[in-house]
Every structure is written in C-alpha cells, then in structure tokens.
Chain A
Amino acid sequence: MSVPATGRRGPRARRPRRAWLGWLFALPAVVMYATFVLRPLLLTVQYSFYEWNGIGASTWVGLDNYGRLFTDSELFASILHAFELILFFSLVPVLLGLFVAATIRGIAQSRLATVARTVLFLPQVIPLVAAGIMWSWLLSTTGLANELLSAVGLDSVTRAWLGDFDTALPAVGIIGAWVLVGLCTLLLLAGMSKIDPALYEAARLDGAGPVREFFSITLPSLRQEIGVCVTVTVIAALASFDIVYIATQGGPGNSTMVPGLEIYYLAFSEREVGMASALAVALVVLVLLVVLPLQRLTRDGSR
C-alpha cells in the first residue's frame, strides 16, 4: 500500500482538519462501540482479578481465578468439549459445504440449484433457539430420529440422544453442523463463481476428470473462502452457547458443558462474577490463539 501521492500533495495544514472531520462522522459509532463493546471488555478484565458476587463488596485476588482455570477439572473439561465441537461445527460444515457447493455449481442452470441453496441456507435464518427446540424434539426418545431407526430395524440403537452421556455432545454438534452447513455452502458457492471458467476448460483439454478439476482448480482457488468458513465456524464452536443451552443446558452430568455456558452459570447461578470473567477472558484469548494462525495460514498462500 505504498501509493505515491502524486498530484495530491496539497497544503499539509489541511490534513489534520480533515481527519478531525472524519472522526466527527464516526463519533456516533465510536461512542456506541466504546460503551457497548470496549467498556464491557475492560470491565470483564478488571472483574477477573476480584472475587465478587455481583452485589456486595469485592476482594482483590490477583491471578487466583486464572489459576483455578487449570486446576478445576470441570472448567478444563468444558474447554475440551469446545474443541470437540470444532469437529462438528467446522470440519463437517466445511467438507460438506465444499461437496454441496461443487454439486450445486454442476447443476447451476437448473431450478433445483436455487431450491437447494434456499433450503440449505434456511437454518441460518431460523432463530437458534427455535432450531434447538426443534432438534430436541427430533432427538427425543419418541422423536423422528428414533422412529426412523426403528423403522429400519435398528431398535437397539435408539436412545434419548441428548440424554445419553456418550451421544449428547455429538448430538449437540450435529445441530451446530446443520446450522452452519448452509453458511459455508453459500460462501463457497460465491467463491466458485469467481473462478475463471477458462481454467476449467484448460484442465478439461488436458484430460482432467471432475475429481482432478476439483482438487487442482476449485480447492486452491477457494483458499480464502475456506479460511473465512473455518474462522467463523471455529469461533462458533469455541464460543457456543445458545444451542447447548436450549438442547441440554450442559447436561447430562456436565457432559455437554462448554465455556460459554459455564461462564453464564458461574456469573448468574453461582454468583462468582470474578471467576466467570476470568473464564471469559481466557476464552477470548483462546479464540484469538486459534483463529489468528488460521488467518495467517489462509492469507499467506493467496499472495
């Protein structure tokens, strides 16, 4: 970005005034951002150094709350659960999204493509709470999932999917995957439409099949879009709250407890605002630690 300022070299004195004017325009947004994003963020950091029940007097405890993050097995387990959710929230939607987008592109001319796009994107439009309730019905003992299994003679597999220690977390993951597949598909489709058709033509002349085309042209060209998908979905997995809260509330027996939910319980049920804030700060750091390298990975290649 080293554009020489040819022909724009006006009197220097004007610059600060223009900058000042610019800030004036941005002022409403800046005030909102500072009040509703920066201030809570800073307060959270501050609270994390105290033991406080949200009402009474508070005690400075330094880094004690952070120390507990690593010694309390329940808190640590919730972080591990969040990483397990990445499998369902990121890997599945991105892989499935790639497959579906490639398929839809193949039938781009037919009306079916429009229908498929709409249907797949629908979960993004439905409020997550409604989606959670609907899925908890589908996955209940008498729900559709179990009826389908019974219908094909798999009675022995049926169970309360959200109430079983082994299946609750994957079941929650599947709800998340269902929500996020549409988003990924749409992003990837948009990316595919930017690929120069000449590349495909050239590949075909060289005798490449559809599989080869996919791996040699489509996939590398989609690097940035995949990066965006992975970033958005990884954040959704690590910071998940609503789906879990609606579907299982962290149960059975903490088997679906995630940091977002744990923060909420700590702050509003156990009234440990300090500890909750510490976990929240740790979660922000964790998300940044995971997402920043991802960003680098996908951007570097595109240069």
Chain B
Amino acid sequence: MAHRLVRRPLRTALAVSAVLAAAACSAPGSNSETTGAGASAAPVANATCGTDPITLKGYFETGFPLPKDLSTEFSKQFPNVKWDIREDQFAVITQNAPRVLADDPPDLMRLPQVSELVKDDLLKNLDGYATAFGWDKWPASQLQQMRVGPTGERGDGPLYAMGLNFSMTGVFYNKKLAAQVGMTKPPETLAEFDSVLQKAKDAGLTPINQFNGGATGGLAFPLQNLMAAYGEPGAINDWIFQKSGATIDTPANLQAAEHLAKWIKAGYFAPDINSQDYAAMMSRFIGGKNLFIFDGDWESGNLDKQMAGNAGFFLMPSAQAGGKQAAMSAPLTFGIGSKAKNADCAAFFLNWVATNQQARDIAVKVGGSHPMGPADAYMPPVQEGTVTASTLAAGATIGEDNGAMDFIANATGAIYAKGWTPNLQKMVAGQQTPDGLLKAVQKDYESQVKK
C-alpha cells in the first residue's frame, strides 16, 4: 500500500512535468495589447448620451448611496439612459480593479489608487473631456490627485479620473460629552487638544474611539493629522504622489508619530482599538460612548440624522496658535475604463454631476461632501449648526490655507494593508517605536514604488 502511494505521485509528477514541457508555456500577460497612453487627449467635441437607448455599466461601492442616487436622478433627466450597476466593498474593488478593467471594463467605476492602473493602461485619459467640458478651468487642486505622469507619479500630467465630490476629514466630537469636560469651543492648538483629551480621560470617559483592527489601520487618520500639524502638507503630498526622492521618515513626521505614541500611552484611545472595525467605531460614537473620532465628512449626513444637534466637527488644530491647518481631502474618484463602450456618456454623466443643480443638491445631502466644479458654482443651502455645515465650512479654511492632502494610505496600492496597518497595530501594542514605524513604512514604500 505504502509503495503504491509513493509511486503514484511520482508518476503524476512525471506526467505533469511532461505536460509543462509540451506546453512550452509562454510568459504570462505578454499578449495583452496596449492602447497607448495619452491616445485620446484631443478635445472630445460632442460627448453626450445621445437619444438612443443606452445602458451604462457601473461598478460602485457598497454602503455609500451617493452614486446610485445620482444615477437614478440622471436617468430621470435622461430617460434613454439605463444603468447596469454592480456593487462591492471598497476592499474588494481595490483587489478586483485591474482584472475587471482589463476583462470586463465598466463605463464608470469607483477607483482605488490610480497610478498602478494608469501604468497598466487600464484607464481612459480624460484630458479630451476636460478641455471640452471646461474642467481645466476649475480650481486645479480638485483634480490634482487624479493626474498621473508617465512614471506613475501623481499630481501632474493627464487626468485619469474624476470625482463625484471631494471629501474633508478631521475630528468629530460629541457635543454633550464635550460640555461635560468643559470644551466649549474647538481647541485652537495641539496643546489645547491634548488637555481636552486628558480632561476626558480624568472624567472617566473614553476620549477617542478609532478603528484599527483587521486590515484597516485607522490610526493613520490621527497620525496624518498630526503630521500636518507639525509639518507641511506639501511634503506629505509629494510622498503620496510618489515624487522621486520623497520620504515619510522626516523629523516633523517623527514628532507626529511620537505625539501619537504619547496619546496611546496616555490611554486616550479605547483599549481595544486593535480589534475595532469601522462599523464598531461608528456605532460607539453614535451611541455616545466616547468624545472624539477621526473621520471624514462622508459621515456628515449620517451623523446629522442619527445624532441630530449633538455632533460637532473641527479641523485638526495646528501645533502653534494661528498656524495653518491641513486635512486629508480627496475626490471620490470614479474613472472610465480604457476599453469602456460608452465612454462619452460616462464623461457626460461626470460633468453633469458637477454642474447640474439637482446633482449638486444630492452630492451635499446624500454624500455630505463638497461637490466638484467651478469655485463660484451653485451651493445648496445647508442648515446652520449641522455637521454638514461645519464640514463644508472647513473646506473653505483648507482652501485658504492650501492644506489639502491626499491620504497617506493611498501612496501605493498595498501600503495601507501591508505597511501602515500592521505597524500601527504594533505601535498600539507597544511592539513598534515611532521611529521604527516610519522606517518600516518607508522601506515597504520603496520596494513597492520601484516596481
């Protein structure tokens, strides 16, 4: 029996290697034809959805109703347009993006980090549409993150994606608990913020809940806010955009990481953040279990509904009084597959989202964030005192201070799951130092950018 068992795999192995040799396998992936980047940069004069029945294929993110609401309204205004929408969680979209764009390109797709997709020639160059629709006359900062150069560097070059709106991040707080610890107005310096955190701790409250479990290291939010409080957002953007020679391991960032470590040590975060997921953080904050969370204005509408009147928002204070403020602010990126069938109609939709009054209403009411478009475009009225009002106002401050940053988790496709998350989790458990954190992430970054 034993002999047969051994002999059979041997024979199989022989057969297998014979097949392998016979197939004389050609290298994988080499047969993919290239369409040539920048092929469609000439202005596209007549990009519309026409009048014939047309079905736009969309690939959207589950749990965020904005794109679907916009598509419904669009079909109401343009009845010849129907939608075929597929939805997935963002993590799934991130993993599927290259394959889906290559094999079954959607007309409109929620995109993860774009530079790798551009390098593989999977996204349509939107410059032609930008000229035709006048997107190039909008504030340049709105589109900067979606411009990709030939080497994969972002921030400059042709436009490869478009936003449905652009988000703003900062600190959300529970007004009732804030009053309880004597915080009557948002802190104006980092030191003031520290003292509020300490007061909350002393009062027996949980100062901050932040998701940091599984593969989602949410401590990257406060970390990047601290980085911008100590240093310049420009340098952080250079790193995120993969500018050559950029490093995350700078003295200012080290101060920020040390400050974060101080917060961890002081017990300002809930003790179980390493097992907290995003949903748990939200349900605890909405349930009044803690004072602060670091999050973005995509929750504004939700918080105005579920914590009506009790939720507040402020931008991360600067280290010095009166210092400039900065925040992660990124467009909700959607792109058009380079082989998409209805590219013109999809581009027309994107332009409609930014310029149509109803669409802008939906963008603010449902999405909670600032719509894209010209600086003087129509803005829907927002009720005073709501979270939505304060996040939209924060957008103006960031604009004045030129403090918009992309998210450090978006520097490469894998830097979040493989760099930031494990190292931040280790720092929470006392197994990583601030210095080690930055060095480890920088090392991962370099090996990923090289490719």
Contact = CB atoms under 8 A, between A and B. Distances in A.
Which of B20, B28, B30, B275 counts the most A-chain CB atoms under 10 A from its CB?
Answer: B275
B23 interface: yes
Given A164-B429, A271-B414, A45 B20 contact: yes
A141 B273 CA distance: 10
A50 B28 CA distance: 8
Interface residues of B, number: 51
Contacts of A265: 414, 417-418
A252 interface: yes
B98 A53 contact: yes
A269 B29 contact: no
A52 interface: yes
A83 interface: no
B425 to A, nearest CB: 4
A35 interface: no
Contact residues of B: prevailing secondary structure: helix
B98 A271 contact: yes
Interface string B9-33: 1000000100110010101111010
A46 B426 CA distance: 36
A269 B451 contact: no
Interface string B414-429: 1001100111011011
Interface string A41-63: 11101110010111111101000
A266 B212 CA distance: 21
Contact of A47 (B19, B28, B413, B448): B28
Given A53-B451, A269-B417, A141 B29 contact: no
Question: Chain A interface: which size bin?
Answer: 35 or more
A164 B95 contact: no
Given A165-B431, A250-B215, A58 B426 contact: no
Contacts of B375: none
B389 interface: no
B299 interface: no
B60 to A, nearest CB: 19
B428 A160 contact: no
A169 to B, nearest CB: 13
A55 B214 contact: no
A273 B280 CA distance: 33
A251 B2 contact: no
B340 interface: no
Contacts of B280: 140
B223 to A, nearest CB: 15
Interface string B360-392: 000000000000000000000000000000000
B189 interface: no
B213 to A, nearest CB: 6
A201 interface: no
Interface of A: 38, 41-43, 45-47, 50, 52-58, 60, 140-141, 159-165, 248-254, 265, 268-271, 273, 288, 292, 295-296, 299-300, 303
Given A248-B214, A252-B422, A295-B5, 18 more contacts: A45-B20, A52-B28, A53-B120, A57-B27, A58-B29, A159-B272, A160-B271, A160-B272, A165-B426, A250-B215, A252-B429, A253-B429, A253-B431, A265-B417, A269-B417, A270-B413, A273-B28, A296-B5
